[in-house]
Amino acid sequence: MWRDKKTTMAAPVQYVPAVPPLVNPLEDKPMLDTSKSTLSSSMVSMDSGRTLLGRSLVFKGELSGSEDLMIAGNFEGSVNVPGHCVTVGPEGKVKADIQATRVVIHGSVHGNISVRERLEIHKSGHVVGDLLAPGISIEDGAYFKGKIEIIRENEQESAKIYTPLHAAETTA
């Protein structure tokens, strides 16, 4: 109990670096589900077939692929993911034309958006550009500036055939 401080050996101290927890991307939920907070309760794991462009990343160029895409950072160029969903996170800033089956926007998008199924702009979303989709929902509080064109089901088939390439051929 009465030990001399000089004779007592202190145990060696081991330093363990703190590892921050992994942040998972937002799972896109329909706007009709208002019982839960979309941002806090809808997290998914990265092994669900989704690619994440992280918050600290800046990417310029053409992006195409065959899986869902979550943009939490800055992207400039064009995005083409037919058959899949593009989600722009709350901190995401996109300056690009987007083509996808579904687009969910929580952040900022400057560019034209063309979707096959549904486009959702949530209240934290900011969109400047033209929208082309069969289903569009804009939540109260969201910002949108541009033109909206709603495609009907019978017009979707003709829209697939009529592209800018074909437009040049018919006028020549």
Q: Is residue 84 part of a domain?
A: yes
Range of the domain at 66: 38-171
Distance, C-alpha 99 to centroid of its chain: 12
Cα distance between residue 34 and residue 36, in whole Å: 5
Q: Is residue 60 part of a domain?
A: yes
Q: Is residue 33 part of a domain?
A: no
- The tokens 């969201």 sit on which residue? 142
From residue 14, how far is each of 17, 18, 154 by CA, in Å? 10, 13, 68
Model confidence at 25: pLDDT above 50: no
Model confidence at 152, pLDDT cuts 50, 70, 90, reads: confident
Q: Read off the pLDDT of each residue in 71-85 and give the average, rounded to a whole number.
A: 95
Q: Is residue 26 part of a domain?
A: no
Q: Is residue 105 part of a domain?
A: yes
Q: Is residue 30 part of a domain?
A: no
Q: Is residue 4 part of a domain?
A: no
Model confidence at 17: pLDDT above 70: no
Q: Is residue 75 part of a domain?
A: yes
* Choice between 41 and 123, residue whose per-residue pLDDT is larger: 123
Q: Read off the pLDDT of each residue in 155-161 and give the average, rounded to a whole number.
A: 51
Q: Which range scores top for mean pLDDT: 31-40, 58-67, 124-133?
A: 124-133
Q: How many domains does the chain have?
A: 1
Q: Read off the pLDDT of each residue in 15-36 and give the average, rounded to a whole number.
A: 46
For the full predicted model, state whether its pTM sits above 0.85.
no
Model confidence at 37, pLDDT cuts 50, 70, 90, reads: very low
